[in-house]
Structure 1
Amino acid sequence: MDHKSLRYLMDHPNLNMRQHRWFDVVKDYDCVALYHHGKVNVVVDVLSRNTASTFVGGLCMRICINSPLLELIREAQGEGIKSEHWKKEKIKGHISRFSTDSYKSLTQCGQIWVPSFCGVRQTVMEEAHKSRFLIHPRAAKIYRDLRLNYWWLCMKRDIVRKDKGFDVIWVIEDRLTKIACFLAIRESSLVEKLVDVYVHDIVA
């Protein structure tokens, strides 16, 4: 299968639904799509080759993704791990259980520790809340998803507080591409607030 077109994913003016979903996944990452002919690549996935055919145009794509969120978390960990901040972070009894993963992030039982510095907790929760292709998840679902990869004390309480207050789902449909966006808002929100939400989550 020829995946050379993925090189133009970020610049293509007309994307189909599948490409839109891929675009939504990679748009927040600094990624590069590298294109290689199959005959140049020595290690080739056997499932992409048909041994009964003489076709030699097999292709291999590699996408390298680096999340800026991990870098923000590492910077916050550098501040939070200082002894004068242990009390604020409530991690004095957890220091001995911390370990460093392959990305040089501090983890506990495989979960990345998210300190309160630099607003990274807020950023992590906001990323879990917003999606252009899924209905707004509730606090319990967000907590179950986040705890698979992240950890901090009183995580569930913070997520519930973040989720509290939204009582309406604002549905915005693009009639050309048939894409529907679901945004959590308050019924009492003023027009100015709705404009800000629209520009931030749809236009930006």
Structure 2
Amino acid sequence: MFAHLSLLDDGSLLAELRVNPVWVEQIRSKQLMDETLGTHFRQVESGETSDFGMNSKGVLCFRGTMCIPNDDDLRQSILREAHSGLYAMHPGGNKMYQNSRELYWWLGLKHEVVEFVNKCFVYQKVKAEH
């Protein structure tokens, strides 16, 4: 966690907290082992692409969003946090997809999000009640 404090002109104090999920390091290390992403790494190194690049943490990104390697455990933990985390409140498929695609990219993301939400018992129960 990173905290940044600012003192404003009116004397008030503004606190900004930044939290990096624990899987950012996992993403970076698993990207190096993913064959498909390896192609994109080489394109970035040679300057052949403008869609892919590296962020400040050394993570391969597609148009500014982190490329998630083809690793089911990693993807499931990301989806679980996005859907069932303390601040997520079990969003529906569309909302969860919109939120997820701002941070993460992988082929089939939308399909996996919808499939994940459809398997959630809590979401199905709440949906049925309303």
Q: Could you state the TM-score of these two structures normalised by the residue count of structure 2? A: 0.69
Greater C-alpha radius of gyration: 1
Q: Find the counterpart in structure 1 of residue 84 from structure 2.
A: 130
Kindly indicate whether the alpha-carbon contact (under 8 Å) linking 1:100 and 1:106 is maintained by their aligned counterparts in 2: yes
**Equivalent-residue separation in structure 1 for 2:18 and 2:92 (angstroms):** 31
Give matches, 1:115-126, under 5 Å.
115-117=69-71, 119-126=73-80
Q: Does 1:104 align with 2:66?
A: no
Q: CA deviation at 1:75?
A: 1.7
CA gap 1:117/1:131 in 2 versus in 1, 3 angstroms: closer
CA gap 1:101/1:132 in 2 versus in 1, 3 angstroms: closer
Q: Find the counterpart in structure 2 of residue 195 from structure 1.
A: none
Secondary structure of the residue aligned to 2:29 is helix
**Equivalent-residue separation in structure 2 for 1:118 and 1:164 (angstroms):** 17
Q: Find the counterpart in structure 1 of residue 46 from structure 2.
A: none
Give matches, 1:1-204, under 5 Å.
31=1, 44-48=7-11, 63=17, 65-80=19-34, 85-86=35-36, 95=43, 96=49, 97-117=51-71, 119-132=73-86, 135-165=89-119, 166=121, 167-169=124-126
Secondary structure of the residue aligned to 1:99 is strand
Q: CA deviation at 1:65?
A: 3.5
**Equivalent-residue separation in structure 1 for 2:113 and 2:16 (angstroms):** 35
**Equivalent-residue separation in structure 2 for 1:135 and 1:64 (angstroms):** 21
Q: CA deviation at 1:131?
A: 3.7
Q: CA deviation at 1:92?
A: 5.3
Kindly indicate whether the alpha-carbon contact (under 8 Å) linking 1:76 and 1:118 is maintained by their aligned counterparts in 2: no
**Equivalent-residue separation in structure 2 for 1:134 and 1:66 (angstroms):** 16
Structure 1: gaps of 5 or more residues? 1-30, 37-42, 50-58, 170-183, 185-204
Q: Which residue identity lines up with residue 130 of structure 1 in the other structure?
A: S
Secondary structure of the residue aligned to 1:136 is coil
**Equivalent-residue separation in structure 2 for 1:161 and 1:67 (angstroms):** 23
Identity of aligned residues (%): 25
CA gap 1:103/1:145 in 2 versus in 1, 3 angstroms: same
Q: CA deviation at 1:78?
A: 1.7
